[in-house]
Amino acid sequence: MISDLPIMLVAYPEIFLLAAGCAVLVIDLFLSEDARWVSYALSLASLVMCAVLTAGVTFKTGGQHATTFNGMFVLDPMATALKMFTYLAVTACLVYSRTYLADRGLYRGEYFVLVLFATLGMMVMISANHFLTLYLGLELMSLCLYALVALNRDSAVSTEAAMKYFVLGALASGLLLYGMSMIYGATGTLQIDEMASRVVRLLQADPPAKSAVLAFGLVFIVSGLAFKVGVVPFHMWIPDVYHGAPSSVTLFVSTGPKLAAFAMAIRLLVNALQPLAGETLQFPSGWQDMLVILSVLSMAIGNLAAIAQSNIKRMLAYSTISHMGFMLLGLLSGIVGGNALSAAEAWSSAMFYAVVYVLMSLGAFGMVLLLSRAGFEAERIDDFRGLNARSPWFAFVMLLLMFSLAGIPPTVGFYAKLAVLQAVLGAGKVWLAVVAVLFALVGAFYYIRIVKLMYFDEPAETAPVRARPDIGILLSANGLAVLALGILPQPLMQVCLQAIKGFQ
Partner 1 sequence: MNSYWLSFSIWVPIVAGLIVLVAGDRNLREAKAIALLGAIIGFAVTVPLVTGFQTGTSAMQFVEKAPWIPRFNVNYHLGVDGISVLFILLNSFITVLVVIAGWEVIKERVAQYMAAFLVMSGLLNGTFAALDAVLFYVFFEATLIPMYLVIGVWGGPNRVYAAVKFFLYTLLGSLLMLLAFLYLYNKSGGSFAVLDYHKLPLPLNAQIALFVAFLMAFAVKVPMWPVHTWLPDAHVEAPTGGSAVLAAILLKLGAYGFIRFSLPILPDASHYLAGLMITLSLVAIAYISLVALAQTDMKKLIAYSSISHMGFVTLGFFIFNAYGMEGGLVQMISHGFVSAALFLCVGVMYDRMHSRAIADYGGVVNTMPKFAALMMLFAMANCGLPATSGFVGEFMVILGAMKFNFWIALLAATTLVFGAAYTLWMYKRVIFGEVGNPHVAGLKDANPRELLILGLLAVAVLWMGVYPAPFTEIMHASVDDLLRHLAVSKL
Binding stretches for partner 1 (CB under 8 A): 388, 392, 399, 403, 408-410, 414-415, 418-419, 421-422, 425-426, 430, 433-434, 437-438, 440-441, 444-445, 448-449, 451-452, 455-456, 488-490, 493-494, 497
Residues whose CB falls within 8 Å of the CB of residue 54, separated by 6 or more in sequence, listed in order: 13, 80, 83, 84, 87
Residue among 166 and 439 whose Cβ is closer to partner 1: 439
Residue among 38 and 483 whose Cβ is closer to partner 1: 483
Residue among 180 and 482 whose Cβ is closer to partner 1: 482
Bridge partners of residue 339, in order along the sequence: 336
Distance CA 317, CA 383 (A): 17
**Class of residue 6 by CB neighbours under 10 A (exposed 0-12, middle 13-18, buried 19+):** exposed
Residues whose CB falls within 8 Å of the CB of residue 413, separated by 6 or more in sequence, listed in order: 356, 360, 403, 404, 405, 406, 407, 482, 486
Nearest approach in angstroms of CB 428 to partner 1 is 9
Nearest approach in angstroms of CB 422 to partner 1 is 5
Nearest approach in angstroms of CB 398 to partner 1 is 13
Nearest approach in angstroms of CB 333 to partner 1 is 12
Which SS3 state, helix, strand or coil, does residue 30 take? coil
**Helices and strands in the chain: count of H runs, count of E runs:** 21, 2
CA angle (264 as vertex; 260, 270 as ends), nearest 5:
140
Give backbone dihedrals phi and psi of 380, rounded to 5 degrees, phi first.
-80, 145
Residue among 124 and 344 whose Cβ is closer to partner 1: 344
Nearest approach in angstroms of CB 485 to partner 1 is 11
Residue among 37 and 431 whose Cβ is closer to partner 1: 431
Give backbone dihedrals phi and psi of 71, rounded to 5 degrees, phi first.
75, 10
Residue among 380 and 449 whose Cβ is closer to partner 1: 449
Distance CA 493, CA 410 (A): 15
Nearest approach in angstroms of CB 335 to partner 1 is 16
Distance CA 58, CA 35 (A): 35
Residue among 188 and 392 whose Cβ is closer to partner 1: 392
Give backbone dihedrals phi and psi of 66, rounded to 5 degrees, phi first.
-125, 135
Q: Which of 248, 361, 240 is nearest to 309 (CA)?
A: 240
Residue among 213 and 418 whose Cβ is closer to partner 1: 418
Residue among 124 and 433 whose Cβ is closer to partner 1: 433
Task: Show contacts of 37-44: CB within 8 Å, 24+ apart.
Answer: 39/109, 39/112, 40/94, 40/98, 40/112, 42/112, 43/94, 43/112, 43/115, 43/116, 44/91, 44/94, 44/95
Q: Which helix (H) or strand (E) holds 458?
A: none
Burial 403-437 (b: 16+ CB within 10 A, else e): bbbbbbebbbbbbbbbbbbbbbebbebeebbebbe
Nearest approach in angstroms of CB 409 to partner 1 is 4
Nearest approach in angstroms of CB 399 to partner 1 is 8
Nearest approach in angstroms of CB 110 to partner 1 is 43
Residue among 205 and 438 whose Cβ is closer to partner 1: 438
Nearest approach in angstroms of CB 452 to partner 1 is 6
Compute the half-sphere exposure of residue 123: CA atoms within 13 Å on the CB side of its CA: 28
